[in-house]
Amino acid sequence: MTERKPSGMSFESFIDKQIREAIERGEFDDLPGAGKPLPGLDKPHDDQWWLKGYLRREGLTAEALLPESLQLRKEIDRLPETVRGFGREEEVRAHVKQLNRRIAEWMRTPTPPHVPLAPVDVDAVTDQWRSVTPATPAATPRQEAPRRRRWWQGRDRGQ
């Protein structure tokens, strides 16, 4: 456990003392990447270099940093491409309804920037999806096997 800084000692000398003692104990030996250069030192750094690295490591896009209204607007603009990969009409309708739910939540308590947003017409998106999706052959109705009579049902009651 780390000890408290003595009142008469400066923070810098206290931290230097702790690092020196940890080195003497060997706590920095065999660390991963020891002896290797730090990644990215050879690349030019701008003001947001750490943010760009974080987004890259986490597999996110810069769109995750946008305000919700702009995210929703971008999602509405990309909706035809998004639903194009769906296989069933129910999936398209569910996706659009979920998007409309998020739009309605934002409209209840809008946060800046105030971008004009309106719910998306589910039927229009579905019709557009149908026009670009190849029709699948209709499924043939499954024939049911004849039902067997169970022992407790007995024979015909009329005999």
Q: Where are the domains of the chain?
A: 67-132
pLDDT at 39: 73
Quick check: 70 and 113 in contact, CB under 8 A? Answer: yes
Q: To the nearest 10°, report the CA torsion of 117, 101, 69, 74.
A: -80
From first CA to last CA, the distance across the chain in angstroms is 92
| pLDDT values of the chain reduced to their tens digit, one per residue, 159 residues | 567 767 777 767 788 888 989 999 999 888 888 888 877 777 777 778 888 888 888 999 888 889 999 999 999 999 999 999 999 999 999 999 999 999 999 999 988 998 999 999 999 999 999 998 877 655 555 666 667 766 666 665 554
pLDDT at 158: 52
pLDDT at 5: 67
Q: The pTM is what?
A: 0.56
